[in-house]
Amino acid sequence: MTQEGVASGVAATASDAPDAGDDRSLPESSVILEGDNLQILPEFPDAAFTLIYIDPPFNTGREQRRTRTTHVRSSEAASGTVTGFKGQTYERIRGQLHRYDDAFDDYWAFLEPRLLEAWRLLADDGTLYLHLDYREAHYAKVLCDAIFGRDCFLNEIIWAYDYGGKSKSRWPTKHDTILVYVKNPRSYVFDSDAIDREPYMAPGLVTPEKAARGKLPTDVWWHTIVSPTGREKTGYPTQKPVGVLRRIIQASSREGDWVLDFFAGSGTTGAAAASLGRNYVLIDENPEAVAIMRERLNPAAE
C-alpha cells in the first residue's frame, strides 16, 4: 500500500487501499486515498476509527447508482430491516419519507450505503459527525434515528455564520447542521476539558477565573466561513474552516486516535487532526481535491 505520512506528501489511489479480507488493517501512518469511497471503505477493518466526520455533497448533481450493502446495525435484523424510530422498521420509515420528497430517494441512495459503512467503521467509543444543510438535514435525522437507533443520537449542532449575500425575500440562510451520533450511548469519547473555550458574552456576571478561562461552547457554534482572501483559503469551493473541525476533533478523539473523512475535499479534517496529534484517513474521488490536500498537508510545501 502506498501511504501518505504527514511528511511524505504522496497521495494513494483506490487500488492502494488496504486489502479486503481477514487481514484488513489500518495504514502505518496518515494517508490520502483517491477514488470512490464506497469501494475503498469496505477494505478497512471494523471499529477502526474513533471519529468519523463527513461533509457529503448537499446536492450531488449527477446520477447515482444504488449500491446494496450487507452492513446493518443489528445482527437480529430480518430482510435488511432495523427497528428504530417509534418501533417502526427502517424500511417502512424510508418508504414513508420517500413519499414526501421525490428528490430524497436519489440522494439517500447515494448517501445511505456510505453511512452504513461509517457505522461499521466506528469504534465502540466512536462518534459520527454528519455535516449537512437545511435541504437534507431533517430527512437525514429521522433516517439516522431509524438506522442507528434514536438512543445513539447525541446532538444537533448548528454552525452559524454571517458572510456573503443576504436575501431580502426571506430570512437569509446562514447556518449548516451537523448531526452527531455515537456508537455506544453508554461509553463514548467526549473530552470537554480539551475543547477550546469561548469568551463569555457577559464576563462581568461570572468570576474572574471563569471569565479568563472562557465557557464551553453550546450546540450553536458561531464561526465565520473561510475568508476568500484569508490565509486558510485553498481555493476549494466548499472548504470548511479549521476552527470547526478542530473543535470536533478535540471533543471526540484522543491523541493518537484515528480520524476518517471520506468526503475530504480540501483536507481540513486532516489539517486539524495532524495539528492535534491524531492520525487520519482522507478519501476523495476528485483529483483536484487530492492535489490540494497533498500540497496542504505536506510540510515541505509550506
Specify whether the CB–CB gap between 133 and 176 falls below 8 A. Answer: yes
What are residue 12's phi and psi, to 5 degrees?
A: -95, 170
pTM over 0.85: no
Each domain of the chain, given as residue ranges in start order, spans 12-301
Cα 184 to Cα 182: distance, rounded to the nearest angstrom: 6
Mean pLDDT across 110-131? 94
What is the spatial distance between Cα 288 and Cα 296, in angstroms, rounded to a whole number? Answer: 12
Is 268 a residue whose pLDDT tops 90? yes
Looking at residue 107, its pLDDT comes to 73
Higher per-residue confidence, 238 vs 45: 45
Of the spans 16-20, 154-158, 212-216, which averages the highest pLDDT?
Answer: 154-158
Cβ-based neighbours of 14, under 8 Å, separated by 6 or more: 33, 34, 35, 36, 39, 40
Burial bucket for residue 158 (CB in 10 Å: 0-12, 13-18, 19+): middle
Mean pLDDT of the chain: 81
Q: How confident is the model at residue 162 (pLDDT cuts 50, 70, 90)?
A: confident
Contact 247, 270 (CB under 8 A): no
Contact in structure between 239 and 265 (CB atoms under 8 Å): yes
Task: Report which secondary-structure segment, H or E, holds 154.
Answer: strand 153-160
- pLDDT given for residue 74 in this prediction: 46
132-155 pLDDT per residue, tens: 988 888 888 987 888 888 999 999
State in words which class domain 12-301 has. Answer: alpha beta
- The pLDDT score that the predictor gives to residue 240 is 87
Residue 185 has pLDDT above 80, yes or no: yes
